[in-house]
Structure 1
Amino acid sequence: MHDFSSDLARPRPSDLLSQILLGLRLDGVSYGRCVMRPPWAVAFPARPEARFHFVARGGAWLRTPGGDWLSLKGGDAVLLPRGSLHVLASSPEVPTVGIDSLARTEVAENIYLVGDAARARGDVLSDGDAVMFCGAMRFNLDPLHPLLTMMPDLMRASELAARDPAVPALLDAMEREVALERIGAFGMLARMADVLAASIIRVWVECACSDASGWIAAVQCPRIGKVIAAIHAEPERDWTVPTLASLMGASRSSFAEAFTRTVGESPAKYVARVRMFQARRWIEREGMRVAVAATRLGYDSEASFSRAFKRVMGLPPAAVRQKHRDAARTI
């Protein structure tokens, strides 16, 4: 007789993907309500944070990271998950200015009025004015995480709305919140922007899973996905090929062959990358000392850890820690 209880206990592929996505959270860095009066064009430089733009009124042209111009209408929202260089403009022909050169007034913690909204708050808007709500967001995952590297440079909410009814509902709610300008509207918009950005990513993942290949295909595979979920859950554990093969329930050779074929790199290389991603988060975001990170990951010496870190990340951990110190001094 078949044991159905074992089927219920066995993680489904979607459950395994959910475990990976538990670490994918967005922390708002800053948000701004922007009122722009034509002609205008604003350049957003490449930065490590994701960029989010919601056009509440009027329209805008977006020059994508690939150099193409995309027309945005009122109610459109776009997410640039890697914060690539891009431009927003009233027309493609207008000369650009940097976003940091615009007038800015803080109205709440990390929330600003930008452009003409800062210079003339309360002015009556003219027909040609564009009203936007823009944000910079930070992923909890490392920028080199396989999921983030697979994402396109630009995600447009309208292209994903048909697959998730929550997306148009959020767009409508944000449009109303901008129009009414009620008390606490900026804080509400910031939270809705976080949820909308996460919803855009979720729909994209679901779309990608319908034609899965590479890393997502690996996560969708029950046996290999179980291994990947375990590695991400405990990156500091001393994962060996025999241990991972046992977790998958296969021999060392068959496991290594199946993992490499599906994921695109060997188990050892994948584990090394995940461990170094974790180390970079500890050092850069939490200010952990390099020696402590080395010990926590089981390295015999700080020197051997530093060599491994540089081999994977392309720079020494001391440089990452210096970045954390520089950022702390600017606060």
Structure 2
Amino acid sequence: MLDDSSEGAVPRTWNSDGAPDMLTRVLLGMRLDGVAYERCVWSAPWSVTYPAQSEAQFHFVARGECWWRTSTTDWQRLKAGDAVLLPRGAKHVLASAPDVPTVDISALSHVPVADNIYLVRGDADPTDVLFCGAMRFNLDPLHPLMAMMPEVMHAGDLAQRDPAVPALLDAMEREVAMDRIGACGILARLADVLAASIIRAWVECACSNATGWLAAVHCPRIGKVIAAIHADPSRDWTVPALADLMGASRSSFAEAFTRTVGETPAKYVAKIKMFQARRWIAQDRMRVAVAAERLGYDSEASFSRAFKRIIGHPPSEARREHRDVPMPVA
């Protein structure tokens, strides 16, 4: 499924019959929506801490430069035109220099300039301008794709594999430089697209030595099964039904799936069902009984037991967690 005829090749996204390949079908279901954005205009010295949160974090250096680090990485420099994405919203620090004392981003004044867009300005003439965003995936944080993503994705590391990345960075830089009417809104949309492009470039780069879930998605026969499960998690996916989809016997299918994915088909199906259920309950406010019925459970009690076993807490807590998590400032 990969075209390895030349160095730096990326995976095909369309089969010879014109249909999307299995990885594309899975990725097409992924959505990334901006929650809130900041245009940060600061004068050195400055240093801010972004606490851990469920939303992805995005930073683009429009002018000047800065340094960043997480709890597991050393200080790294970002220059004008650079961007980083933290898919799981890990706690991190941005600073004009590594030795500057930090303040929490929420302690700074945020002046609304448009819907979900804020201006964060320092006291002196600015030396550094950043455009930062908080973004929400429609995927569960425990989804295999999310779990495999690195803590930080640096656009510069991926630009050579995806020509869209430097083009989007250039577009954002021009939008900041011209400072035209509606620039913040356009920057927000560009940031959404750039973040998605960074993820796509990472997926393509990871495919050359993919293991586990990514390797499974790129295997035509197993990938077909995984794509079907993700496309319709509420269906009663029995092992015989999945084996028929793959065109194999039950035993050979189960062995191949477990060897490639790392867990049995039944366990994988149950996990994807619960990811879908948590999203329905937490974000769409669906009643637990309705989610249980839609996913084919005989009773709310059996559904709740399965949910707690896989997610780690009862369905009622999923709704409460979503309600209690504060919306990010950035």
Q: After TM superposition, is the score higher than 0.5?
A: yes
Partner residue, 2:223: 225
Partner secondary structure for residue 235 of structure 1: coil
CA distance in 2 between counterparts of 1:23 and 1:90 reads 38
Aligned to 2:4: none
The answer to whether 1:113 aligns with 2:119 is yes
For 2:258 and 2:225, locate their aligned partners in 1 and report how far apart those are by CA, in whole Å. Answer: 13
Secondary structure of the 1:72 match is: strand
Contact kept in structure 2, 1:33 and 1:112, CA below 8 Å: yes
| Alpha-carbon distance, 1:325 to partner | 4.5
Offset at residue 306 of structure 1 (A): 0.8
Q: Where does 1:173-212 land on structure 2 (aligned, <5 Å)?
A: 173-212=171-210
Which residue of 2 is the match for residue 84 of structure 1?
Answer: 90
Residue 54 in structure 1 maps to residue 60 in structure 2: yes
| TM-score (normalised: structure 1) | 0.91
Provide the residue aligned with 1:102 in structure 2: 108
Q: Note closer, same or farther for the CA distance 1:8–1:56 as it changes in structure 2 (3 Å cut).
A: closer
Residues of 2 paired with 1:291 and 1:194: CA distance? 35
Q: What are the Cα deviations for residues 274-310 of structure 1, in whole angstroms up to 9, with x where unaligned?
A: 0000000100110001111111111111111111001
CA 328–35 in structure 1, closer or farther in 2 if over 3 Å, else same: closer
- How many Å apart are 1:15 and its aligned residue? 1.1
Task: Considering fraction of residues, name the structure with more helix.
Answer: 1
Q: Cα deviation per residue 1:73-115 (whole Å; 9 max; x = unaligned)? A: 0110000000001000111111111111111001111001013
Q: Distance in 2 between matches of 1:191 and 1:9?
A: 33
Distance 1:65-1:195 versus aligned 2 partners, 3 A rule: farther
CA distance in 1, matches of 2:191, 2:59: 9
Instruction: Output the CA distance in 2 between the equivalents of 1:247 and 1:305.
Output: 26
Mark the CA change 1:328 to 1:33 in structure 2 (over 3 Å): closer, same or farther.
Answer: closer
Matches of 2:326 and 2:67, distance apart in 1:
36
Residues 9 and 181 of structure 1: is their aligned pair in 2 closer, same or farther, counting only changes over 3 Å?
A: closer
Q: Are the aligned partners of 1:287 and 1:325 in contact in 2 as well (CA < 8 Å)?
A: no
Q: Is the 8 A contact 1:53 1:134 kept in 2?
A: yes
Query: Alpha-carbon deviation of 1:53?
Result: 0.1
Query: Where does structure 1 differ by over 6 angstroms across 4 or more consecutive aligned residues?
Result: 327-330
- Report the counterpart of residue 93 of structure 1 in structure 2: 99
1:268 is aligned with what amino acid?
Answer: A
Paired residue secondary structure (2:78): strand
Query: Which stretches in structure 1 are left out of the alignment for 5+ residues?
Result: 1-6
The structure-2 alpha-carbon separation of the partners of 1:105 and 1:291, relative to structure 1 and needing over 3 Å to count, comes to same
Distance (Å, rounded) in 2 between the aligned partners of 1:207 and 1:151: 12
3-state SS of 1:33 partner: strand
Instruction: Deviation per CA, 1:124-182: give whole Å up to 9, x if none.
Output: x45xx210000000001111110111110010111111111111111111111111110
- Cα RMSD, aligned residues only: 1.9
> Which runs of structure 2 are paired with 1:4-15 in the superposition (5 Å)?
8-9=16-17, 15=21
Structure 2, unaligned stretches of length 5 or more? 1-14
Change (3 A) 1:8 1:35: closer
Between the aligned partners of 2:185 and 2:201, the Cα distance in structure 1 is 25
Q: Structure 1 residues 131, 21: closer, same or farther in 2, change over 3 A?
A: same
Residue of structure 2 equivalent to 1:27: 33
- 1:65, 1:153 within 8 Å by CA — same for their partners in 2? no
TM-score under structure 2 normalisation? 0.91
- Superimposed CA distance per residue, residues 5-63 of structure 1 (whole angstroms, 9 cap, x where no aligned partner): xx85596xx61101000111111000010011121110001101000000001111101
Aligned partner (choices 237, 240, 256) of residue 235 of structure 2: 237
Matches within 5 A, 1:251-270: 251-270=249-268
